[in-house]
Amino acid sequence: MLKIQKVLLSMSGGIDSSVAAMMLLKQDYQIVGVTYRTWDSVSQGCFEKEKGCCSINAIMEAKRLAEQLGFEHFFLDLREQFKNSVIKNFTDEYLAGRTPNPCIVCNASIKWGEVLNLADSLGCDYIATGHYAQIVEKQGNLYLKKGVDTQKDQTYFLWRLPQEVLGRTIFPLGTLTKPEVRQIARENGYEKLAQKAESQEICFIPDNNYRIFLKNEVPDYEQICTEGNFVDIDGKILGKHSGYPNFTVGQRKGLNIALGKPAFVREIRPQTNEVVLADRNELETQTLTAKNCIFVNRSELPDNLEVEARIRYKSPATKARIVLENNGRVKVHFASTVWAVAPGQSVVFYRDDLIIGGGIICS
C-alpha cells in the first residue's frame, strides 16, 4: 500500500494558495495548512490600511478555507525572524544607497527557511505554495522552470532556493494560467474568491511608501536622511534634495527639481549624500557585475555562456553572456542595452526557461 504523502501548504488567504489546496487534495495529498504572521502593521499605526498576506483578515480567511476543505491549519508567528532578516536587509540596503528586493530575501529565509522547520516537526514530506513556477530535473539537478503563465511567472523571486529545498517543494499552479486558477475556484463554489483582487504592494508597506516606513523603522533616520546635492554625471551641482534614501535608480517622479527637461536618477552616493541625475539614455548600459552568485551547477558552466538575464521582475529577459569570476562574482555582457540597472536588485540567468543561477547586482 502506497504511503499518502503529507504536504505543508503555505496559505495567504488569497486565491492562489487556496486553489493550490484544492489541487493538492485532488491529487490525494494529505494537507496541513500554515499561515504566518511576519509583520504587525497594527503596531505601526496602520490598522485601517492593514492588508496583504500577513494581515489578521488574511490569516482568518486561510483558516476558514482549511476548515471548509477539511484539513488542519497552523498559525506561525515569524515577526521576530522576519524583522531580523527581511526588514533588516531592507533598511540596510536603502541606507547603503541600494534598492533591495525583500520578496527574494523572504522566500529564502522565511517561506522556505522557517516554514521548512515546521514541516519537519509535523512530519511533512513536502512544502507547497501558490507560486507560478515549476521544478524539473535535468541530468541529476533540479531547476526552477518558468510557469506556464508567463505574465504571472514568479521564478525570478525564487532563484536563491537550494537543491535540497527544491527537492521538497511542490508548485501546484505551475502548469496553470491565472484565468484557469480563477475558474477552478468558481467550479469549487468560491465565486467571491475567484473575483478577489491581488495586492501589488510590499506586504509590510501597505501604503506603498517605503520612505515613511524607513522614517518609522530606522532610529537615527533624521540624522541620516538630510539635505544633499543633486549633481550631474560630471559632478556639477544642479540643486538640493531631501536625502539620498528617498531616491532609487531610474526614478523620475518626485524629484522636486526643475531642469527644463526630464531627469532620472542614475546613481546614489550615500558617502557624500549626492544623487546623480542624467538624461534617460545615460541610464542605458550593456554590462553589469553581480555578487553573491549562486548556480545550479557552477563547475560545468563555461565562460561566455549565453543566457537570458532578467534585471528586475517586470523587465523582459535580455540575451547576454556571463563571465564567471573567482570571487563569486559574475560579469554580464548584454547583447543590447538595458536600462536603469539598480544595485541591490537581483539579476537572474535563464537557459531554455530554466534558472541556472542568479546574483545581486553591485555595479
Active-site positions read 106, 203
* Residue 175, all three cell numbers: 502548469
Residue 352: Cβ-neighbour burial (10 angstroms; 0-12, 13-18, 19+): exposed
Q: Whose CA is closest to 321, among 334, 310, 312?
A: 334
121: which residues sit within 8 A by CB, 6+ positions away? Answer: none
Q: How far apart are CA 174 and CA 156, in angstroms?
A: 14
How far apart, in Å, are the Cα atoms of 95 and each of 17, 222, 225?
34, 12, 9
Question: Where does residue 92 fall: left (phi above 0), alpha (psi -120 to 50 degrees), or beta otherwise?
Answer: alpha
Q: Tell me the DSSP string of 188-246.
A: TT-HHHHT-----S-TT-TTS-HHHHHHHH-TTHHHHS--EEEE-TT--EEEEES-GGG
Q: How far apart are CA 240 and CA 73, in angstroms?
A: 53
